[in-house]
Amino acid sequence: MMKLNWIELLILCLIFSAAECGFHSLQFLSSGLVKSTGRPVFEQLLLFDGVEISYCDSRTRQEQLKPTLQTKHLPETCDEARADILAFLYETTPFINRTVGVVQRRRGCIQSDDGSVSAFEAWAVNGMDFLTFDPESQKWTSQSPSSETVRHLWNKDKERNFAFRHFIRHLCPEMIQKITLRSVNKNTELRVFGKPTAYTNQALLRCHVTTTDKSAGSVHLVGDAAPQAIWTSVTGPVPSGDGCVILRLTARIYTQKPNTYGCTVQTGSHNRTVYWDGKTLDGTDLANKFNSNWKVLSLLIGLGFTIIASTILFYGIIVLRKCDKKIPVPKKLDSLMMRLIENSSSPELKIIALSFVFGSNIPEKYKESLEEWAKRMKEKDLNYYDPDYFAGNSNVSEI
């Protein structure tokens, strides 16, 4: 693209507030596109103070005036500009060491309140600077190594260079004096909408401002959740071509908090704030979609845990049943053994019989015999291990 110079800086100043800067500008933006068939297509856009006032192309060759233009003192056709573009494509392309797909031309003038005029003319090839024209010296300057041959050729064509200078230094300022734009009421529109992303819990919040109030210079993200935005970027203000200025804010946010995000645009006369309703430009509800997806996901997670727990419990019961089958079930009590338990006067014998018949699950009615046997065994052990017992027993002989 063409490099930004002091002329373009003045033009940008004009775009946002021509009256305050004290300048008026008129720009002729021409282009020629070479199609695959080899036949070029021509287009030209005419801007006054950054506002589109006329359009012309190779199909009609007639200037189509825009509604923003109140006066009609403009050339009726764009034949001259079209001829210049075609001459470049047919005559100079062979001298350029590359294939030419697009040729761009920007020419015009800037007039200040004191009547002084600054004129400019520049050409580009395939989006890169190619040649620039100095109207005072009527000489061309190369902006690309491939333009040297063309520069020498054009510098020799003094008649054409004089015509170029006359147009941008004299005819262009005369046109400026005859142009009047329609007055536009100051109006500011702010639209806030979301765009889905690859992450279901995130969205791109877009705040789009279109205003005829050229004092509008900024748009901000506001709301309780604004500090939680992942990132924010602002572009503009830039002219829309119809007398409006466009600003745009883009922020990456979390979709579960729709009504806590908003945007505020500041103008010289008032501020306007709009909060996001959680929807996209086509009306899709991103916030509810996220909440629905989260509910479905939670339901699936809960269902999954329930299935897993049920499976574990099911197999646990099966294992316990298998283990339970290995535990011997008491056989039918032998009548002789039961008589031994009932009639024996020896606790030791009863305990042996009880253990043989019931194992560790001895019925309550037999636990008295077990306790008596345990008591006797304790007394026996105490007598056996007590030194005083042996010292007081006269039947024990010394060793």
CATH code, 194: 2.60.40.10
- On whether both 133 and 239 belong to a single domain, the answer is no
- Average confidence (pLDDT) over 331-356: 62
Residue 37 lies in a domain: yes
- On whether both 165 and 235 belong to a single domain, the answer is no
pLDDT surpassing 90 at residue 3: no
- On whether both 200 and 171 belong to a single domain, the answer is no
Write out the residue range of the structural domain in which residue 378 sits. Answer: 335-392
Q: pLDDT tens for residues 93-119?
A: 888 877 888 999 999 999 988 888 999
* pLDDT of amino acid 395: 43
Residue 58 lies in a domain: yes
In the chain, how many domains are there?
A: 3
- Average confidence (pLDDT) over 179-183: 82
Q: Show the tokens assigned to 231.
A: 């990132």
pLDDT surpassing 80 at residue 22: no
Q: pLDDT tens for residues 37-85?
A: 678 899 999 999 888 889 999 888 888 888 778 887 788 889 999 999 9
Instruction: Indicate the residue among 155, 178, 201 that finishes a domain.
Output: 178
- On whether both 165 and 70 belong to a single domain, the answer is yes
Instruction: Indicate the residue among 130, 152, 178 that finishes a domain.
Output: 178
pLDDT surpassing 50 at residue 394: no
